[in-house]
Amino acid sequence: MDNIKVQLAKEGKKAYVIPEGASSGLGLFGYYLGMEEIIKQQSEMGLTFDAIVVAVGSGGTFGGLFLGNKLKNSEARVYGFNVCKDKAFFQSEIEKLLCEASERLGRPRTFKKDEFLIIDGYVGDGYALSRREELDFIRRIARLEGLILDPVYTGKAMLGLVTEIEKGTFRDHRNVLFIHTGGLFGLFPKKNEFVF
């Protein structure tokens, strides 16, 4: 993509490369706006989420929610379950994204890496690799709740959330919002691995 951008520039054209997951200082404003919508809907419904949970695959979703939460003075805590790499990697990546976004906003940096609540331990066998436990969990949630999770992102994150709730990690939170970020098409390559 970078080579194509250079070639287009030679032709007098301007191109913008959208990185993986649209995770850039610009791209995270999508979920910044998503956080604004969550805050508005909370007010309309008369409830408050004190924890917001997402899968983390490139950092943009988490970064956008974190930024929106911080700048709108929401008291919610944003948690991410990484589906690849590790906590330290994503804390650094999210920091870079937020620095870029802060520059775009013309605002000083108002965050520290240790505020990025990434919960490690649910990557399993690796990115887009599924363990039997994960696939069985996805199947169980689909049958129990009619909620279709995917094996790459939301299945791992929801398994992490349920496990951490059972361990007591979220005991101080009354209203937890899990944001289902999609990924349904990740089910199709794994269809023969599900046991019915």
Tell me the per-residue pLDDT of 51-63, one tens digit each, with 9 for 90 and over.
999 999 999 999 9
pLDDT, mean of residues 58-70: 97
**What is the Cα–Cα distance from 186 to 189, expressed in whole angstroms?**
6
Output the 3-class SS for 29-53: HHHHHHHHHHHHHHHHHCCCCCEEE
- The pLDDT tens digits for 109-161 are 889 999 999 999 999 999 999 999 999 999 999 999 999 999 999 999 999 99
Q: What pLDDT, on a 0 to 100 scale, did the predictor assign at position 181?
A: 95
In the chain, what are the domains?
22-193 (3.40.50.1100)
Q: What pLDDT, on a 0 to 100 scale, did the predictor assign at position 115?
A: 97
pLDDT, mean of residues 36-48: 97
Q: What pLDDT, on a 0 to 100 scale, did the predictor assign at position 183?
A: 87
pLDDT, mean of residues 103-112: 90
Q: What pLDDT, on a 0 to 100 scale, did the predictor assign at position 17?
A: 92
Q: Would you say residue 196 has pLDDT above 80? A: no
The CA-based angle 29-32-36, given to 5 degrees, is 140
Closest by Cα among 70, 4, 80 to 32: 70
Q: What pLDDT, on a 0 to 100 scale, did the predictor assign at position 95?
A: 97
Q: Say what the pTM is.
A: 0.93
Question: Which two three-digit tokens encode residue 90?
Answer: 């994503």
pLDDT, mean of residues 9-32: 93
